Amino acid sequence: MGVEASGLWSFKCCLCCDDVYFYEGKHFYCKNNDLYDFSYSHHRHTNILEIDRSLFGKAGLYLPKGESLGMMFVGDVEKLSKPCSPCKTIRQGKVLGARLLEILINEKDAVGLAANQVGVDAAVCVINVVKPVVLINPKITAKFGKSFFQEACLSFPGDYVLTERWTNIMVVADNHVRGIDFSFEKSALECVCVQHEIDHLNGITMFERAIDMEKLNGKGK
Protein backbone atom coordinates (compact mmCIF):
# COMPACT_ATOMS: atom_id res chain seq x y z
CA MET A 1 0.00 0.00 0.00
CA GLY A 2 5.36 3.18 0.08
CA VAL A 3 11.99 5.91 1.20
CA GLU A 4 16.10 6.33 -0.71
CA ALA A 5 17.75 2.99 -0.77
CA SER A 6 20.59 1.81 1.36
CA GLY A 7 22.31 -1.53 0.90
CA LEU A 8 20.48 -4.48 2.37
CA TRP A 9 22.30 -7.57 3.56
CA SER A 10 21.25 -10.79 5.20
CA PHE A 11 23.49 -12.85 7.45
CA LYS A 12 23.47 -15.41 10.23
CA CYS A 13 23.99 -14.08 13.70
CA CYS A 14 24.80 -16.10 16.84
CA LEU A 15 22.61 -19.01 17.95
CA CYS A 16 20.07 -16.77 19.69
CA CYS A 17 18.95 -15.30 16.35
CA ASP A 18 17.93 -16.45 12.92
CA ASP A 19 18.51 -14.30 9.84
CA VAL A 20 19.40 -10.69 10.47
CA TYR A 21 18.46 -7.95 8.02
CA PHE A 22 19.92 -4.51 8.24
CA TYR A 23 19.88 -1.16 6.50
CA GLU A 24 21.95 1.91 7.18
CA GLY A 25 20.96 2.86 10.69
CA LYS A 26 18.17 0.28 10.85
CA HIS A 27 18.56 -3.30 12.03
CA PHE A 28 16.05 -6.12 12.28
CA TYR A 29 16.48 -9.72 13.29
CA CYS A 30 14.28 -12.63 12.39
CA LYS A 31 13.38 -14.73 15.42
CA ASN A 32 10.72 -17.41 15.07
CA ASN A 33 9.92 -15.95 11.65
CA ASP A 34 9.14 -12.46 12.97
CA LEU A 35 11.21 -9.34 12.32
CA TYR A 36 12.19 -7.21 15.31
CA ASP A 37 14.18 -4.06 15.88
CA PHE A 38 17.67 -5.17 16.77
CA SER A 39 20.80 -3.79 18.39
CA TYR A 40 23.60 -6.14 17.43
CA SER A 41 26.44 -4.61 19.45
CA HIS A 42 26.63 -7.71 21.69
CA HIS A 43 26.52 -10.26 18.88
CA ARG A 44 29.22 -11.83 16.77
CA HIS A 45 28.33 -12.17 13.09
CA THR A 46 29.15 -15.13 10.88
CA ASN A 47 28.17 -16.72 7.58
CA ILE A 48 27.36 -13.66 5.50
CA LEU A 49 24.82 -14.56 2.82
CA GLU A 50 24.76 -12.68 -0.47
CA ILE A 51 21.37 -11.67 -1.78
CA ASP A 52 20.37 -14.05 -4.54
CA ARG A 53 20.60 -11.88 -7.65
CA SER A 54 18.82 -14.49 -9.76
CA LEU A 55 15.58 -13.64 -7.92
CA PHE A 56 15.73 -9.97 -8.77
CA GLY A 57 17.92 -9.47 -11.86
CA LYS A 58 15.21 -9.52 -14.51
CA ALA A 59 12.90 -7.37 -12.42
CA GLY A 60 15.68 -4.87 -11.72
CA LEU A 61 15.36 -5.31 -7.98
CA TYR A 62 19.03 -5.82 -7.17
CA LEU A 63 20.93 -2.57 -6.73
CA PRO A 64 24.40 -2.04 -5.29
CA LYS A 65 24.73 -0.22 -1.99
CA GLY A 66 24.16 3.49 -2.29
CA GLU A 67 22.44 3.33 -5.68
CA SER A 68 19.04 5.00 -5.96
CA LEU A 69 16.04 2.73 -6.34
CA GLY A 70 14.08 4.88 -8.78
CA MET A 71 11.40 2.21 -8.43
CA MET A 72 8.50 2.17 -10.86
CA PHE A 73 5.63 0.12 -9.48
CA VAL A 74 3.54 -2.03 -11.79
CA GLY A 75 0.35 -0.11 -12.50
CA ASP A 76 -1.14 -2.25 -15.25
CA VAL A 77 -4.44 -3.64 -13.96
CA GLU A 78 -4.29 -6.56 -16.41
CA LYS A 79 -0.86 -7.62 -15.11
CA LEU A 80 -1.92 -7.17 -11.50
CA SER A 81 -5.03 -9.28 -12.12
CA LYS A 82 -2.94 -12.42 -12.54
CA PRO A 83 -2.56 -14.39 -9.27
CA CYS A 84 1.02 -14.88 -8.14
CA SER A 85 2.71 -18.27 -8.30
CA PRO A 86 3.54 -19.85 -4.93
CA CYS A 87 6.98 -19.03 -3.57
CA LYS A 88 9.01 -22.26 -3.77
CA THR A 89 10.99 -22.10 -0.53
CA ILE A 90 10.92 -20.20 2.74
CA ARG A 91 14.53 -19.09 2.24
CA GLN A 92 13.70 -17.65 -1.17
CA GLY A 93 10.68 -15.96 0.34
CA LYS A 94 12.76 -14.43 3.14
CA VAL A 95 15.32 -13.05 0.69
CA LEU A 96 12.59 -11.60 -1.51
CA GLY A 97 10.74 -10.31 1.56
CA ALA A 98 13.87 -8.55 2.81
CA ARG A 99 14.29 -6.83 -0.56
CA LEU A 100 10.64 -5.81 -0.61
CA LEU A 101 11.00 -4.37 2.88
CA GLU A 102 13.93 -2.27 1.72
CA ILE A 103 11.87 -0.91 -1.15
CA LEU A 104 8.92 -0.30 1.18
CA ILE A 105 10.93 1.52 3.81
CA ASN A 106 12.45 3.69 1.10
CA GLU A 107 9.06 4.75 -0.26
CA LYS A 108 7.38 7.68 1.45
CA ASP A 109 4.15 6.95 3.32
CA ALA A 110 4.04 3.32 2.20
CA VAL A 111 2.92 0.55 4.55
CA GLY A 112 2.62 -2.53 2.33
CA LEU A 113 3.99 -4.07 -0.84
CA ALA A 114 3.39 -7.27 -2.81
CA ALA A 115 5.96 -8.93 -5.06
CA ASN A 116 3.88 -8.56 -8.23
CA GLN A 117 3.81 -4.79 -7.72
CA VAL A 118 7.51 -4.78 -8.60
CA GLY A 119 7.25 -7.37 -11.35
CA VAL A 120 8.11 -10.52 -9.41
CA ASP A 121 5.79 -13.52 -9.78
CA ALA A 122 5.91 -14.91 -6.25
CA ALA A 123 3.33 -14.98 -3.47
CA VAL A 124 5.29 -12.85 -1.02
CA CYS A 125 4.20 -9.57 0.54
CA VAL A 126 5.43 -7.29 3.30
CA ILE A 127 3.82 -4.78 5.64
CA ASN A 128 5.36 -2.18 7.91
CA VAL A 129 2.79 -0.63 10.24
CA VAL A 130 3.20 -1.88 13.80
CA LYS A 131 6.39 -3.75 12.89
CA PRO A 132 7.93 -5.17 9.69
CA VAL A 133 6.26 -8.43 8.68
CA VAL A 134 7.08 -10.75 5.78
CA LEU A 135 4.35 -13.15 4.61
CA ILE A 136 5.26 -16.07 2.34
CA ASN A 137 2.33 -17.74 0.55
CA PRO A 138 -0.17 -16.19 2.99
CA LYS A 139 -3.82 -17.15 3.34
CA ILE A 140 -6.66 -15.74 5.42
CA THR A 141 -8.07 -18.68 7.37
CA ALA A 142 -10.60 -16.89 9.59
CA LYS A 143 -12.39 -13.56 9.36
CA PHE A 144 -15.28 -11.69 10.96
CA GLY A 145 -16.66 -8.21 11.43
CA LYS A 146 -16.70 -5.56 8.72
CA SER A 147 -15.92 -1.86 8.50
CA PHE A 148 -15.33 0.78 5.86
CA PHE A 149 -11.84 2.06 5.08
CA GLN A 150 -10.35 4.46 2.53
CA GLU A 151 -7.47 2.81 0.71
CA ALA A 152 -4.63 3.91 -1.54
CA CYS A 153 -2.09 1.88 -3.49
CA LEU A 154 1.51 2.33 -4.66
CA SER A 155 0.50 0.97 -8.06
CA PHE A 156 -2.13 3.68 -8.52
CA PRO A 157 -0.73 6.93 -7.07
CA GLY A 158 -3.36 9.57 -6.43
CA ASP A 159 -6.27 7.12 -6.45
CA TYR A 160 -8.34 6.45 -3.33
CA VAL A 161 -11.26 4.08 -2.93
CA LEU A 162 -13.66 3.33 -0.11
CA THR A 163 -13.67 -0.38 0.69
CA GLU A 164 -15.34 -2.70 3.16
CA ARG A 165 -12.82 -4.86 5.01
CA TRP A 166 -12.83 -7.55 7.69
CA THR A 167 -12.09 -6.13 11.12
CA ASN A 168 -10.59 -9.36 12.47
CA ILE A 169 -8.58 -11.89 10.47
CA MET A 170 -6.24 -14.82 11.04
CA VAL A 171 -3.44 -15.23 8.51
CA VAL A 172 -1.27 -18.29 8.07
CA ALA A 173 1.82 -18.38 5.87
CA ASP A 174 4.70 -20.72 5.17
CA ASN A 175 6.80 -18.69 7.62
CA HIS A 176 3.93 -18.26 10.10
CA VAL A 177 2.33 -21.69 10.29
CA ARG A 178 0.68 -20.98 13.65
CA GLY A 179 -0.97 -17.91 12.22
CA ILE A 180 -1.03 -14.22 13.05
CA ASP A 181 -4.16 -12.40 14.09
CA PHE A 182 -4.78 -8.86 12.86
CA SER A 183 -7.61 -6.66 14.05
CA PHE A 184 -8.95 -3.12 13.93
CA GLU A 185 -8.62 -3.07 17.72
CA LYS A 186 -4.83 -3.55 17.46
CA SER A 187 -4.34 -1.49 14.29
CA ALA A 188 -6.99 -0.84 11.67
CA LEU A 189 -4.34 0.25 9.15
CA GLU A 190 -2.30 -2.92 9.62
CA CYS A 191 -5.38 -5.14 9.38
CA VAL A 192 -6.51 -3.49 6.15
CA CYS A 193 -2.99 -3.44 4.74
CA VAL A 194 -2.62 -7.20 5.14
CA GLN A 195 -5.90 -7.79 3.32
CA HIS A 196 -4.88 -5.32 0.59
CA GLU A 197 -1.53 -7.06 -0.02
CA ILE A 198 -2.96 -10.58 0.06
CA ASP A 199 -5.52 -9.39 -2.48
CA HIS A 200 -2.62 -8.33 -4.71
CA LEU A 201 -1.11 -11.81 -4.48
CA ASN A 202 -4.48 -13.23 -5.52
CA GLY A 203 -4.76 -10.89 -8.50
CA ILE A 204 -7.29 -8.53 -6.90
CA THR A 205 -6.83 -4.75 -6.92
CA MET A 206 -8.47 -2.28 -4.57
CA PHE A 207 -10.81 -1.18 -7.35
CA GLU A 208 -12.53 -4.56 -7.21
CA ARG A 209 -13.19 -3.93 -3.50
CA ALA A 210 -14.54 -0.42 -4.04
CA ILE A 211 -17.91 0.38 -2.49
CA ASP A 212 -20.63 1.63 -4.82
CA MET A 213 -21.62 4.82 -3.01
CA GLU A 214 -24.98 5.08 -4.76
CA LYS A 215 -25.97 1.59 -3.65
CA LEU A 216 -24.59 2.31 -0.19
CA ASN A 217 -26.84 5.37 0.05
CA GLY A 218 -29.84 3.44 -1.27
CA LYS A 219 -29.94 5.28 -4.58
CA GLY A 220 -28.72 2.47 -6.77
CA LYS A 221 -30.64 -0.44 -8.17
Q: At CB < 8 A and 24+ separation, what contacts does 41-48 make?
A: 43/13, 43/14, 43/16, 43/17, 44/13, 44/14, 45/11, 45/12, 45/13, 45/14, 45/20, 46/11, 46/12, 46/13, 46/14, 47/11, 47/12, 48/9, 48/11, 48/12
Query: Looking at residues 15-37, what average pLDDT do you find?
Result: 45
Predicted model pTM: 0.70
pLDDT tens readout for residues 146-176: 999 999 999 999 999 999 999 999 999 999 9
Instruction: Give the pLDDT confidence of 75-104 residue by residue, as tens digits.
Output: 899 999 999 999 999 999 999 999 899 899
- Please indicate whether residue 214 is annotated as part of the active site: no
Cα 118–Cα 210–Cα 208 angle in degrees, nearest 5: 55
Q: How far apart are CA 142 and CA 106, in angstroms?
A: 32
| Domains defined for the chain, CATH in brackets | 9-216 (3.90.45.10)
Give the list of residues 6+ apart from residue 59 with CB closer than 8 angstroms, or none. 118, 119, 120
User: Which pLDDT value is given to residue 18?
Assistant: 44
Catalytic residue among 102, 107, 190, 197: 197
